[in-house]
Amino acid sequence: MGALARGISAACAWLNQIVWGVPMLLLLVGTGIFLSVRTGFFPCRRARRWLSVTLGALLCDRKTARSSDGGTFSQFQSVATALAATLGTGNIAGVAAALAVGGAGAVFWMWVAAFFGMMTNYAENLLGVVFRRKDAAGRWTGGAMYYLEDGLRSRPVLGRLARPLAVCFALFCLLASFGIGNLAQANTIAGALENAWGLRPALTAVLLAAVCFLVLVGGGKRIGRVTEMLVPFMAACYVGGSLLLLFANRQRLPAVFGGIVSSAFRFRAAAGGAAGSLLRRTVTVGLQRGVFSNEAGLGSTPLAHAASNVKNPAVAGAWGIFSVCFDTFLSCSLTAFVLLSCTVPTVPLPQALLHLTDAPQYLAASPDAAGQILPLFAAEVQAAPPPTFAAAYDAVCYGKSRRLPTRLDPSLAAPDSYTNVLELRGVPATDPAGRRLRDADGNPVLTAIFITRPQGAALVACAFRQRFGETAARLLSVSVLLFAFSTILGWSFYGAQALSYLSGGRGQGIYRGVCVVLTAVGCVARLDLVWAVCDLFNGLMALPNLVGLLALSGVVVRVTRAFAVEPAGRKSVRRAKKVKFRATRR
């Protein structure tokens, strides 16, 4: 099984180098730049306009928040479902992974992707509403596959490719709903619960699969009702906790911001080839994680907005701008600043072991960390480990328990960076009934010691635990659980819509069953394999969608001009319908 997982991971890595190469990055950012220029940088110049029909309408118009007449969702439910799909592991585990691989500069390129992604997401949602249809039950249904098929059908060059592109997008979306929507989110949930509560991934798999089944069996209506309750609560909890932590570390924030900008361009002395390689990795990782987080360019969010009761296509587009701003500029930025503003003490490993308990300790992973661990491990097992031990292990356990075969990078550097952290935790002894054994002073009896390097959501939990204690870390794990669970629900709706397009509305029950099973599998899957699969499906989804956005940019421009100068009333709605009529019959 291990060899199979390594083979799949290697294949995904090779395919990712092709799918996420320079052409894809240029196409993603270039599409956003092209649409921004054609619409006169609408998100910036008309910020008051799109804010009035999103936040303003949400606060002042009850129908926007509650009524779903004519659609599966109300406008608020549609944006909640879209945010549920985007506010997930990309905001927490994804940002931590980006910092670990690309450094602080990756955050800057996430911002670049989000800035131009606002217009990309706007165009997707707008076209999703312009070209949506009624299903057999009389509810609205739409998405990238519909504007690819109907919008490109009359184009002289792309007309023959309209149907194949639409089918490819729907197929990739269906596969992505299993990767980005199930495996990655379930993996993060299992890791967060194990780190904070000691809950075994196998038990998490059973519980999570059962809850997902109860929600998914109710279809889109139940998903909308659940997400409109979860999203505001979980967003408020995470944003509030992050702001408190940043306030406690406010003196480091200017240095953190300066480090993000300077690291984005590698303003430091380095060999030319090495500097270019580092810069390319920073840009690539930042753009990848930016797209993974806000999903601008994937064509996923139109699936939710087209199913709402929104009448003006530009209003649905405005919700897309709001989603990207909230997701990347607020949520992802908070995670990055939390990680980069926190520090851990540089304490020698032998000294930390003198005060070892069953509670975790966190140390900076200095370059000589491997040299400190190896002698301790060798003395315990009475045999020197192989010379490649430091490059082959990332978690070390010595004592009566067995060691864990993952990786430890012997060249860990930058001890002031919170992405290089070691966690030390004693493993308490238990009696046959599972109760912890204690000595005469009431301290737990330890039988082994784990030395691990936290990753993903566990790294963010370290930051909260360092400042606010174990309770805060456990509350964060609950927030992570809600983020990832809501993403599972949002993407299950996306996948169901894609399957409905491919199969003519059949197979929904089978699809929900597969989602439940894969959610359980994701809890015990390898993290690196999960991320590799998700990156691959993201890129494959984006390709046909970006072709459609560029070909239909004229429709976006005409609807946007009408929306920018007129109130969002009946007149602009009629004009949008005329634009659709002309686009489908040219």
Mean pLDDT of 270-295: 63
The pLDDT value recorded for residue 123 is 94
Residue closest to 130 by CA, chosen among 566, 567, 500, 548? 548
The pLDDT value recorded for residue 145 is 92
The pLDDT value recorded for residue 556 is 92
φ, ψ dihedrals at 440, nearest 5°: -65, -25
- Is residue 350 scored above 70 in pLDDT? no
The pLDDT value recorded for residue 88 is 67
The pLDDT value recorded for residue 351 is 65
- Is residue 549 scored above 90 in pLDDT? yes
- Is residue 425 scored above 80 in pLDDT? no
In a domain, 494, yes or no: yes
- Is residue 205 scored above 50 in pLDDT? yes
Q: Please report which confidence band the pLDDT of residue 484 belongs to, taking 50, 70 and 90 as the band edges.
A: confident
Report yes or no: 484 and 208 within 8 Å, Cβ to Cβ.
Answer: no
Asked which of 19-28, 127-136, 276-285 is least confident by mean pLDDT, the reply is 276-285
Residue closest to 282 by CA, chosen among 105, 420, 112, 414? 105
In a domain, 107, yes or no: yes
- Is residue 524 scored above 90 in pLDDT? no
The pLDDT value recorded for residue 550 is 92
Query: Rounded distance, CA 383 to CA 386, Å?
Result: 9
Tell me the average pLDDT of the chain: 75
Mean pLDDT of 264-292: 61
The pLDDT value recorded for residue 235 is 83
pLDDT tens figures, 38-97: 998 999 888 888 888 888 877 776 666 555 565 567 788 888 888 877 776 667 777 877
- Is residue 259 scored above 60 in pLDDT? yes
Q: Please report which confidence band the pLDDT of residue 409 belongs to, taking 50, 70 and 90 as the band edges.
A: very low
φ, ψ dihedrals at 526, nearest 5°: -75, 135
In a domain, 187, yes or no: yes
Cα diameter, the chain: 86
Of residues 415 and 130, more confidently modeled: 130
Query: Rounded distance, CA 113 to CA 131, Å?
Result: 26
In a domain, 128, yes or no: yes
Report yes or no: 35 and 123 within 8 Å, Cβ to Cβ.
Answer: yes
Buried b or exposed e, range 298-330, using 16+ CB within 10 angstroms: bbbbbbbbbbbbbbbbbbbbbbbbbbbbbbbbe
With H, G, I as helix, E, B as strand and everything else as coil, classify residue 430.
Answer: strand
Q: Find tokens 């009431």 and name the residue.
A: 442
Q: How many CB atoms lie within 10 A of CB 431?
A: 8
The pLDDT value recorded for residue 383 is 38
Q: Please report which confidence band the pLDDT of residue 346 belongs to, taking 50, 70 and 90 as the band edges.
A: low
Q: Which two tokens stand for residue 144?
A: 């990238």
Of residues 563 and 60, more confidently modeled: 563
C-alpha to C-alpha distances, 584 to 48, 98, 148, 154, 299, nearest whole angstrom? 32, 42, 11, 6, 20
Report yes or no: 534 and 198 within 8 Å, Cβ to Cβ.
Answer: no
pTM, whole model, 2 decimals?
Answer: 0.80
pLDDT tens figures, 95-140: 877 777 777 888 888 888 889 999 999 999 999 999 988 877 778 8
Residues 430, 435, 437, 442, Cα dihedral to 10°: 150
The vertex-369 CA angle with 367 and 374, nearest 5°, equals 130
Residue closest to 178 by CA, chosen among 389, 488, 401, 441? 488
Residues spanned by the domain of 527: 8-63+102-211+258-316+489-584
Amino acid at 221: K
Residue closest to 484 by CA, chosen among 10, 21, 220, 90? 90
Report yes or no: 331 and 238 within 8 Å, Cβ to Cβ.
Answer: yes
Residue closest to 311 by CA, chosen among 131, 129, 134? 129
The pLDDT value recorded for residue 63 is 62
Q: Which two tokens stand for residue 542?
A: 């984006």
pLDDT tens figures, 74-87: 788 888 888 877 77
Q: Which two tokens stand for residue 141?
A: 């249904």
Q: How many CB atoms lie within 10 A of CB 571?
A: 11
pLDDT tens figures, 365-390: 555 554 555 444 444 433 333 333 33
Asked which of 37-41, 214-218, 555-559 is least confident by mean pLDDT, the reply is 214-218
Query: Rounded distance, CA 433 to CA 431, Å?
Result: 5
Give how many domains the chain has, as a whole number: 1
Q: How many CB atoms lie within 10 A of CB 365?
A: 23
pLDDT tens figures, 133-186: 887 777 888 889 999 998 888 787 778 888 999 999 999 898 888 877 788 788
- Is residue 275 scored above 80 in pLDDT? no
In a domain, 330, yes or no: no
With H, G, I as helix, E, B as strand and everything else as coil, classify residue 408.
Answer: coil
In a domain, 145, yes or no: yes
Residues in contact with 408: Cβ distance below 8 Å, sequence separation at least 6, in sequence order:
369, 370, 373, 390, 391, 392, 393, 394, 395, 396, 453
Q: Please report which confidence band the pLDDT of residue 286 belongs to, taking 50, 70 and 90 as the band edges.
A: confident
Q: Please report which confidence band the pLDDT of residue 541 belongs to, taking 50, 70 and 90 as the band edges.
A: confident
Asked which of 278-287, 338-347, 402-411 is least confident by mean pLDDT, the reply is 402-411
Query: Rounded distance, CA 549 to CA 101, Å?
Result: 31
Strand partners, 427: 448
